[in-house]
Each structure stands twice: as C-alpha cells, then as structure tokens.
Amino acid sequence: NNKGAGGQMGRDQFRSRLGFIFAAAGSAIGLGNIWRFPYMTGASGGGAFVLMYLAIVLVVGVSLLLVEFSIGRHGKANAVDSYAKINKSFAWIGYLGVFTSFLLISYYSVVGGWTIFYTFKSATGSLASVPADQMGNFFGGFISKPLMPLFYHFLFIALTVWIVANGISGGIEKYTKALMPLLFVMLLILLVRAITLPGAMKGVAWYLKPDFSKLTGSTVVAACGQVFFSLSLGLSGMVTYASYLSKDENLISNSFIVAMADTLIAIIAGFVIFPTIFAFGGEPSGGPGLVFISLPQIFTKMPLGSVFAFIFFLLLVIAALTSSISIMEVCITFFTEKVKWSRLKASLFYGAVCFLLGVPVSLSFGMWGDVKILGKGIFDLFDYFCSNISLPLSGLACAILVGWFWGKDKALAEVTNNGTIQSSVAGLWFFTVKYIIPIVLGIIFLQAIGILNV
C-alpha cells in the first residue's frame, strides 16, 4: 500500500510522483470523458460547445486544479479541515463537497452499472448479435427495465465500496498505470475505424465547425459544468488526493498534465462518437444513451468486434472506478477523520445511501420517466444540481478563498514549494484566481441558477 488515500491509520503519502499523477488523472478520466462529454456536445450543438469547453478548461480548469492541489497539500487533512486551515468560514465548501459526493455517485454508478452490463454482454457475445440499427432499442430496452439496471448499479457501488473499504486504492493505482494507456490505445483504434466509416466526415465537420448561433447562456453553463465534472473539480476530490501529497511535488506541472490528458481523451472520444453517429444516421442530440448506442455500432463494423467491445467496456469500467473511488474518498476521509468512524463503517454507510439514492435515478430512465421535479427528470435534476450548481459554486468559493483570504505570498509559497520551483506562470495563475475566475464563474453561476438569462 503505497498511497495514503488507502491507508488505515495516520496519514500516508504518495510515494512517487507518478503515483499521484495517475491517481489524479484516474479521478479525472472516466465516464465524464467518454460518456458525458459526447452527449453534452451532442445536445449543445457541436463545435461551438467544444470551443467554449476548451476555453473554460484553459482559463478556469487548469487554474482551479492548481487551487485544489495547493489547498489539499497545505491542509494535509480532510476537505473540511483543509479549507478551515486557511479560513474557518470556508469550511462549508468541504461540507458541500461531502453532500454533493452522495448525489454525484448515485447517478455516476447508475451509468457505471450500464458499462458493466455492456462488458458482460460483449463477453457473452450477445451484444455482437444485435444488428447495428437495433442498438438504440437494445439500450432503451435495458435501461427502462426496473430491476436489471439496479442490479448493475448495485454491482458498481459494491465494487467501489470494496476497493475503498479495503484501502487498496494504492493497489488499483498500480494497475491503472498500465490500463490507462491501454484505454488510450483502444480509443485510437476506435478513432481510426470511426473516421473511415462511410459518411463519417459529416460527423467530423459537425464536431469541428462551430455554429455560433448555438452559443447561448445555457450552452456556456453546460460547458462549464462539463469542465468541472470532467476535471473532478469543485467536489474537493482533488483537495483530498493532494492532502496525501509530499511537499516536494511540482503542483504546477501536475495540474497541467492532468488537465491536458483529461481534455485529450474527451476530444478524441468526440472524434469516435460523432462520425459514427452520422455514419449510422443517428441524432447527435440523443442524450445520455449516445455512447451506449454508437460505440457498439462501431464494433459491429470491426473484425473481432466482440473482443474489442469486451476490452473497451472493461477498460471503461476501470476508468469509471478510478473516478468513483475519488468521489467516495471525499466522504470517507471526512467520516474517518471528522466523525471518527472506521473506514469500513464509513464505506458501508456511504454505499448503502448511494445505492438508495440511485434507485430513483435509475427508474427515471423507465417507469418513473414522467416524474418531473422543477421541470426536470430525476437524473437530469441530480446532474444539473451537481455539475452546474454545486461544483462551480465550490470552485468559485475556492478561488475567492485563495485569491482574497489566503493571499499571494502564502499561495505562491505553496505552489512553488517555498520558492524552490521557478515558474513564470505562478504569478499569472494567482491573478487569474483572484480576479478572472470569480468574474467568469460568478456570471456563469448566475446564469445557472436562473438569475441571469442570456
């Protein structure tokens, strides 16, 4: 066990630089890149959304990653205490993170369950027997059933709880080192197949050509929410991971590497999905089922399609698990350090609550499909609250905490390891955090809660 996030007693540290990068990248890279990014892009009109997304990653995302890393490493404690260590009146960001962690994992694991189902179905060959034009019905038939998806949701939660309760995230990390690059290679193989499908170029054009008439206030809110979701920001997950980080790590380069790797995977996922959708005559605006319909369609057009499908979905399950354990770790560090529960008790409690919360989410794809709260279905409501309200609000508060309360000297001392790292971007980072992020996020947040309406 080389990693603190998995330790039972005291506070361990990541032993190696790569250990932390892989854990942080493992948290960032997950369903958000391969499932959520394409369907958000599809629902928001393509190229213009992608441009907006990239702009927000550059201006807000990378900087906030560095903000979370520095708060966590400085605090060396659970999120609540890490914020409080800088300023007591900001501890609420940690509590909000704990609360949001429950909601976020409840639907994350419903979708994680879908990926397990697809892994099984590819292993048994039954996915391969579905004709390409029936993939939509196959998916719809599955998610609208009451019990089957719940069974897989349970499996996904159980796996997450099992990994975290046993404190074996350190072990997982070892495998992730090999598996993440493999996921990347698989994506590249799919990319080649997707863009050589007949009719694929229409999809590439749709994806790349920004149609600025599609750029509305709600598109910007969605792009911002996607950045937070994908980079694991605003939940204190990165604060928690960085709290196990040693003092001589280079936080600045770590935040660049994690943000770039995460963004690259998302962009490539788009290059796989959209050409496929256009090649098979589907609709980019198809919603949360998008990748579960178009990915299997690609496999039907590949030699050894079932084998590729199995490997791909298995890797996706693993990528999802390395994210879900980070979502869960926010709560576990909180319950073990603040409430003094054992790791096992905290994990079981967390798993039980999240399973129950996921039940209405899963049913909202079937028999509870008509239930609307505040005009939204249950899944959409959970997701909107987490991605577009809670995460950006925490991000905004973190930026204010660092920019206005921690202050330049202390913040820069933390990110440059007391001046031992020479960095030309540290000053720019602080300026961005103090002035630009509060303004940008402030405006987007007002739009998200409906006060502004552009």
Query: What x/- string results for residues 222 through 241 when contact with ligand PFF is judged by CB under 6 A?
Result: -------xx-x--x-x----
Select from 28-36, 74-82, 364-372, 434-442 the region that touches ligand PFF (CB under 6 A).
Answer: 28-36
Whether 56 contacts 392, CB under 8 Å: no
Sequence-separated (6 or more) residues with CB below 8 Å from residue 196: none
DSSP assignment string, 324-379: HHHHHHHHHHHHHHTS---HHHHHHHHHHHHHHHHHHHHHTTTTTTT--BTTB-HH
Among 5, 21, 31, 433, binds ligand PFF (CB under 6 A): 31
User: How far is it, in rounded angstroms, from Cα 187 to Cα 271?
Assistant: 10
Residue 296 engages ligand PFF in binding (rule: CB under 6 A)? no
Query: What x/- string results for residues 236 through 275 when contact with ligand PFF is judged by CB under 6 A?
Result: -x--------------------------------------
Select from 22-30, 181-189, 268-276, 283-291 the region that touches ligand PFF (CB under 6 A).
Answer: 22-30
Nearest distance from residue 180's CB to ligand PFF, in Å? 13
For ligand PFF, the closer of residues 52 and 386 by Cβ is: 386
Among 6, 13, 26, 33, binds ligand PFF (CB under 6 A): 33
**HSE of 435, CA atoms in CB hemisphere, 13 A:** 3
Angle subtended at Cα 373 by Cα 230 and Cα 96, rounded to the nearest 5 degrees: 45
For ligand PFF, the closer of residues 21 and 426 by Cβ is: 21
Nearest distance from residue 97's CB to ligand PFF, in Å? 8
For ligand PFF, the closer of residues 220 and 321 by Cβ is: 321
Angle subtended at Cα 261 by Cα 256 and Cα 262, rounded to the nearest 5 degrees: 100
Nearest distance from residue 196's CB to ligand PFF, in Å? 28
Query: What x/- string results for residues 322 through 341 when contact with ligand PFF is judged by CB under 6 A?
Result: -x--xx--------------
CA distances from 108 to 54, 262, 302 (A): 23, 18, 29
Select from 27-35, 164-172, 414-422, 425-433 the region that touches ligand PFF (CB under 6 A).
Answer: 27-35
Q: Which residue is nearest to ligand PFF (CB)?
A: 32
Nearest distance from residue 40's CB to ligand PFF, in Å? 11
Residue 150 engages ligand PFF in binding (rule: CB under 6 A)? no
CA quadruple 31, 36, 41, 42: dihedral positive or negative?
Answer: positive
User: How far is it, in rounded angstroms, from Cα 182 to Cα 190?
Assistant: 12
For ligand PFF, the closer of residues 261 and 309 by Cβ is: 261
| 128 exposure class (CB count in 10 Å sphere: 0-12, 13-18, 19+) | middle
User: How far is it, in rounded angstroms, from Cα 376 to Cα 291?
Assistant: 22
State residue 351 phi and psi, 5-degree precision: -60, -45
For ligand PFF, the closer of residues 306 and 394 by Cβ is: 394
Select from 23-31, 52-60, 165-173, 286-294 the region that touches ligand PFF (CB under 6 A).
Answer: 23-31
Nearest distance from residue 66's CB to ligand PFF, in Å? 16
Whether 437 contacts 395, CB under 8 Å: yes
Query: Which residue's structure tokens are 């079932």?
Result: 306
The tokens describing 16, both together, are 């190696």
How many residues bind to ligand PFF according to rule CB under 6 A? 14
Select from 29-37, 154-162, 196-204, 206-214 the region that touches ligand PFF (CB under 6 A).
Answer: 29-37
Nearest distance from residue 451's CB to ligand PFF, in Å? 25
Residue 357 engages ligand PFF in binding (rule: CB under 6 A)? no
Q: For residue 320, which of 146, 107, 127, 165 has the smallest C-alpha distance?
A: 107
Dmax (CA) for the chain in angstroms is 62
Nearest distance from residue 306's CB to ligand PFF, in Å? 25
Residue 30 engages ligand PFF in binding (rule: CB under 6 A)? yes
State residue 373 phi and psi, 5-degree precision: -125, 130
Residue 28 engages ligand PFF in binding (rule: CB under 6 A)? yes
Among 13, 27, 388, 432, binds ligand PFF (CB under 6 A): 27
Gyration radius (Cα) of the chain, Å: 21
**HSE of 191, CA atoms in CB hemisphere, 13 A:** 16
The tokens describing 278, both together, are 């256009």
> Rule CB under 6 A: which residues touch ligand PFF?
27-28, 30-33, 229-230, 232, 235, 237, 323, 326-327
